[in-house]
Structure 1
């Protein structure tokens, strides 16, 4: 710099000011560097997390530019495990939108170096790879550490932080959606959560999609293919406290698995637990300010194995309204005394997670007629089967051997008349020994290989305490009934099979769950009460209505975005308009159910209470009683 002529004293002052500015600039740069270095480098997870509580952290994947587009597509298709925060330009070290003054070569406490998909070493810096990084692209992916402050704010203890450990991370059997050369199983992180805090945990994390959002599974880790929680694939084992339930979130370490599956010549990732810390606050949404559609409610749908499901408050309220409608008691029999709230909801949550469902029906109350069956039961069974088929579940109907051919003809006619789209196999069960039910339910009689994961009985005569089967008038009809109850009693001993009973009097299979109320409040209750309990007992004014309610509730659940996301483990499977149209077409309608009654009458099936051969169920004519209920159900479902 050439300065104009000034006095010696003036020049000294000018030079002093220039040097001061220069020194201050150096100090500022050094301070920024040192602050970031102290904040990020050489610290254990628990210390790093405390340094910037509530700040977004990032998992890192660095790939050759030729793979960058495929990996971005992979992230977009699997946004829960791989929420993309930023994709760098080729050879770009900094990440201005996330952290000023950053340098990806230095800012993670540890890095993994992969060659041809094999982890070769772990390093503290990538500076020595600067020439190779000139042709590489860095992906910054959301991390679940970003929502731990939200968990704490919601009153949910974070056990890994309490124990001073890295979070536990596991490979699962859940396959991510493939994109280009990338495919791998999803990795999840696990945090033990007290059972009474499950709703808080789900709600507080749902509003932070860039940190993986809400849980993808709650309960038994084996349902994700994880065999032993004490042996995480990444991170540290975290101890559960009494009353805790394992809760799993999608994890950005999925990116490490993607690199290994793709086998690029050279790639880098952060070392699990050693994330890039940004300067951005993690977004949080208080449970108190969530809209009803966003509010999570969790429900236990199985204890063997332990399994919870999730739905929005809005969907839950809608299903509760459906449940209230069908428990109306037109015959004034006092069935309200048998009602348990949310049995419809929990049964349908379980059915939504099922892949193979067995339905049984048939109540031969008219022992003086041939056939002795009644019109309550088969319409509800076929309505459930139609919706389950639309949801891509395998469905089988089991009935008494003496009525097998008739029910197969009824199914054939139901398809022909458009009541159901595709015929459901109709089979029978005969007991040929003590292990007959086990071999029927499980491949080769192996209880670890069940053929069905849910059994549903609707208006199916149930075994009483004395081993007989009674109609509501107390007449023993055991000679007309096959021992299908054995399937339910055996299922109760097999992990992974859940059962539901639907009834309107208490003598139906599965209603043993409310046996005490049947004995106390129903006519002939001490004699007729079914002794076989199901996991869920749905009470309805007419059992067919219970079947219609199941179909409607399944429709509501699968249109609930919160349940849909959880059902598909948080992966990017979106609901299509074609799917919604198909499901809507499978809902019960007045026209379809009237046609179904015509089919039953054709085969001589009679009304239960009066034995009339006509469009009547349980002594109530189809118009206006049943048609009105069906229309109200549709109105509630499609609201």
Structure 2
């Protein structure tokens, strides 16, 4: 028995031409060499399909387009003959699979009027995975890779439109970074993953039932990792109403080229552009990706806003990367609920403070620019005032479009579920993410306390119930932003609040969020979220992952729109704080009705933070120049 590792690609093609059953599929053979998916169409459809490949280059990276009637593929493989060089072919008639054959030689007359497309294949990066220490389970198990149709729609071009197909390889959790990094640099073998985690987020219901290939077993500690797959080309052929006759490779039965995978349009993985993976949800399991540069920028923002000019000791509550993971989660969301309002001044009317609303509106403005649906929920007592504040914020240009401001009242045990989910159905949440910023949080005894230990429960609606209920609903993630530990969501750091904060045993919020962002002033946490979302928006590695490898990079106009939504000194000082003072909202620590927050005058404290945060974010899409150019798509 011959060993495939010792044979050249041309020798392997020779064996395939003999229709030897020794090669049933090409998974795990021709290690390190680029393999190709094959689509053969009538010449009248060639331009449409090429446009389809260019628009969807992650699943369909175009290696070579033949001339009409050309069997060979000189740039990829010497002496090749596409009629004989795949172990098995699919024959489609009117978009329907008619049969599978071992050779296309009998179709030579028809092939005279047809064009062959050679498309990159993930088999080409399996050697790179192994070299990075990542086990390739399908090869270990002697199986073809698992491939699935998804709910992700490819970008339509001409006659072609279809869902993306993905391949799945189980990867140990501690090898996720290595898997992303080793495949990212081979864009013509599909590049890096387009999803890591729960297959249902791609519309895949059962991993044991692949649409193509074989089921591959996961080992303990493995996470399913999905790459765009060239079998998308087969789905594209099925979608086209015009092709009377078309051919493709049979899934897993690829064309083996003479080219090393890493030498075909490779990328140099500079440290700043190295992909890093982060878990952003366990229910459902979901990971996201960003470049090392973006991660470093967000960590710098996080460190800046945790500065403590009021000497309150809030550094003791700090958890690294809560800002990063919260913003990665928000980046993937489609609908966000924000809540704020801390009625600390129980002796005044209104009792609200100036910390919270500016940060909430800064986040809402950026989320709007990212095309997320946003709703703000507040106490019924303060509903009309907050609606007027929102109206004024739009009039003064703090935010482009008014965000709905609503209230939540508890009318029974299912009130929160009915509020969060359509028809109270946990499988149909209205919101992907809840964010609380400087929102009074429920303590262990059921009361709500300001930092002085005064119970203000009579002024607070039970919005905490939304967070406790959300923790039981798959698909809703929560974030709390605070500066003292008595804020909603800061229950995640309750032990530290009790140990280090004044009155901590009494005031500590008991309600935890998935992510707890600590800031010197809570507004600063909101500004940090807006700026971190902007950083992620300009990170091409995150952008590609967020869009499942489909689509083009941001246009300059889109970039400008997002930049215009960032918090600035003028927006916060000249506009937002003046609006709050107009409605009698006071500084948190001093109850001063003036342009200060938490007892700190706007100048120099708050203005300094806003300006320094602005210096940490990218002012132009510098990373875009590092995106590999694969056809028309600059997003690998």
Change (3 A) 1:509 1:625: same
Q: Contact 2:586–2:593 (CA<8 Å) still a contact in 1?
A: yes
The alpha carbon displacement at 1:83 in A equals 0.2
Q: Contact 1:80–1:572 (CA<8 Å) still a contact in 2?
A: no
The alpha carbon displacement at 1:293 in A equals 3.3
Change (3 A) 1:33 1:460: closer
The alpha carbon displacement at 1:275 in A equals 0.3
- Counterpart Cα distance in 2 of 1:265 and 1:399: 61
The alpha carbon displacement at 1:29 in A equals 17
- Counterpart Cα distance in 1 of 2:232 and 2:368: 33
User: Which stretch has the larger CA shift, 289-298 or 59-68?
Assistant: 289-298
Change (3 A) 1:90 1:286: closer
Do residues 256 (structure 1) and 234 (structure 2) align?
yes
Which of 472, 489, 506 matches 1:510?
A: 489
Change (3 A) 1:306 1:284: farther
The alpha carbon displacement at 1:289 in A equals 6.7
- Counterpart Cα distance in 1 of 2:389 and 2:371: 22
Change (3 A) 1:38 1:266: closer
- Counterpart Cα distance in 1 of 2:9 and 2:283: 57
Change (3 A) 1:574 1:98: same
Q: Could you tell me which residue of structure 2 aligns to residue 322 of structure 1?
A: 301
Change (3 A) 1:62 1:397: same
User: Which stretch has the larger CA shift, 594-603 or 357-366?
Assistant: 594-603
**Which runs of structure 2 are paired with 1:349-388 in the superposition (5 Å)?**
349-388=328-367
- Counterpart Cα distance in 2 of 1:587 and 1:46: 56
- Counterpart Cα distance in 2 of 1:601 and 1:618: 14
- Counterpart Cα distance in 2 of 1:500 and 1:420: 22
Q: Cα deviations across residues 218-277 of structure 1 (Å, max 9, x unaligned)?
A: 000000000000000000000000000000000000000000000511100000000000
Change (3 A) 1:173 1:47: closer
For the residue of structure 1 that corresponds to 2:419, the secondary structure is: helix
The alpha carbon displacement at 1:36 in A equals 2.2
- Counterpart Cα distance in 2 of 1:590 and 1:254: 49
Q: Cα deviations across residues 108-128 of structure 1 (Å, max 9, x unaligned)?
A: 000000011100000000011
Q: Contact 2:121–2:229 (CA<8 Å) still a contact in 1?
A: yes
The alpha carbon displacement at 1:287 in A equals 13
Q: Cα deviations across residues 379-399 of structure 1 (Å, max 9, x unaligned)?
A: 000000000000000000000
The alpha carbon displacement at 1:493 in A equals 0.3
- Counterpart Cα distance in 2 of 1:151 and 1:575: 30
Change (3 A) 1:445 1:45: farther
Change (3 A) 1:509 1:123: same
- Counterpart Cα distance in 1 of 2:7 and 2:587: 87
- Counterpart Cα distance in 1 of 2:31 and 2:164: 27
Q: Contact 1:323–1:344 (CA<8 Å) still a contact in 2?
A: yes
Q: Contact 2:17–2:84 (CA<8 Å) still a contact in 1?
A: no
Q: Contact 2:13–2:256 (CA<8 Å) still a contact in 1?
A: no
For the residue of structure 1 that corresponds to 2:28, the secondary structure is: helix
Change (3 A) 1:55 1:30: closer
The alpha carbon displacement at 1:573 in A equals 2.8
The alpha carbon displacement at 1:290 in A equals 2.3
The alpha carbon displacement at 1:31 in A equals 13
Moved over 2 A (4+): 28-51, 284-290
- Counterpart Cα distance in 1 of 2:42 and 2:33: 29
- Counterpart Cα distance in 2 of 1:88 and 1:121: 24
Q: Contact 2:9–2:257 (CA<8 Å) still a contact in 1?
A: no
5+ long unaligned stretches in structure 2: 1-5, 611-635
Q: Contact 1:40–1:107 (CA<8 Å) still a contact in 2?
A: no
Which of 126, 132, 140 matches 2:110?
A: 132
The alpha carbon displacement at 1:572 in A equals 2.5
- Counterpart Cα distance in 2 of 1:177 and 1:244: 31
Change (3 A) 1:43 1:600: farther
Q: Contact 1:207–1:285 (CA<8 Å) still a contact in 2?
A: no
Change (3 A) 1:45 1:381: farther
Q: Cα deviations across residues 53-87 of structure 1 (Å, max 9, x unaligned)?
A: 10000000000000000000000000000000000
Q: Contact 1:78–1:572 (CA<8 Å) still a contact in 2?
A: yes
- Counterpart Cα distance in 2 of 1:601 and 1:315: 36
Which of 544, 554, 566 matches 1:565?
A: 544
Q: Contact 1:204–1:286 (CA<8 Å) still a contact in 2?
A: no
Q: Contact 2:36–2:119 (CA<8 Å) still a contact in 1?
A: yes
Q: Cα deviations across residues 168-188 of structure 1 (Å, max 9, x unaligned)?
A: 000000000000010000000
Q: Cα deviations across residues 5-62 of structure 1 (Å, max 9, x unaligned)?
A: xxxxxxxxxxxxxxxxxxxxxxx99997896235884356687455421000000000
Change (3 A) 1:284 1:346: farther
For the residue of structure 2 that corresponds to 1:50, the secondary structure is: coil
5+ long unaligned stretches in structure 1: 1-27, 631-638
- Counterpart Cα distance in 2 of 1:30 and 1:407: 71
Q: Could you tell me which residue of structure 2 aligns to residue 595 of structure 1?
A: 575
Aligned Cα RMSD in Å?
A: 2.3
Change (3 A) 1:136 1:167: same
Do residues 445 (structure 1) and 408 (structure 2) align?
no
- Counterpart Cα distance in 1 of 2:67 and 2:114: 8
Change (3 A) 1:129 1:545: same
- Counterpart Cα distance in 2 of 1:29 and 1:302: 45
Change (3 A) 1:232 1:374: same
The alpha carbon displacement at 1:605 in A equals 0.1
- Counterpart Cα distance in 1 of 2:22 and 2:527: 56
- Number of aligned pairs? 603
- Counterpart Cα distance in 2 of 1:32 and 1:365: 77
Change (3 A) 1:206 1:448: same
- Counterpart Cα distance in 2 of 1:168 and 1:29: 26
- Counterpart Cα distance in 1 of 2:26 and 2:554: 39
User: Which stretch has the larger CA shift, 261-270 or 241-250?
Assistant: 261-270
Q: Cα deviations across residues 397-449 of structure 1 (Å, max 9, x unaligned)?
A: 00000100000000000000010000000000000000000000000000000
Larger Rg: 1
- Counterpart Cα distance in 2 of 1:502 and 1:30: 59
- Counterpart Cα distance in 2 of 1:285 and 1:159: 25
Q: Contact 2:16–2:84 (CA<8 Å) still a contact in 1?
A: no
Change (3 A) 1:40 1:503: farther
- Counterpart Cα distance in 2 of 1:188 and 1:624: 53
For the residue of structure 2 that corresponds to 1:476, the secondary structure is: coil
Q: Contact 1:143–1:212 (CA<8 Å) still a contact in 2?
A: yes
Q: Cα deviations across residues 595-625 of structure 1 (Å, max 9, x unaligned)?
A: 1000000000000000000000000001111
Q: Contact 1:207–1:284 (CA<8 Å) still a contact in 2?
A: no
Q: Contact 1:116–1:265 (CA<8 Å) still a contact in 2?
A: yes
- Counterpart Cα distance in 1 of 2:567 and 2:220: 45
Do residues 98 (structure 1) and 79 (structure 2) align?
no
Q: Could you tell me which residue of structure 2 aligns to residue 24 of structure 1?
A: none
* TM-score, normalised relative to structure 1: 0.92
Do residues 421 (structure 1) and 400 (structure 2) align?
yes
- Counterpart Cα distance in 1 of 2:62 and 2:305: 46
Do residues 293 (structure 1) and 272 (structure 2) align?
yes
Q: Contact 2:36–2:255 (CA<8 Å) still a contact in 1?
A: yes
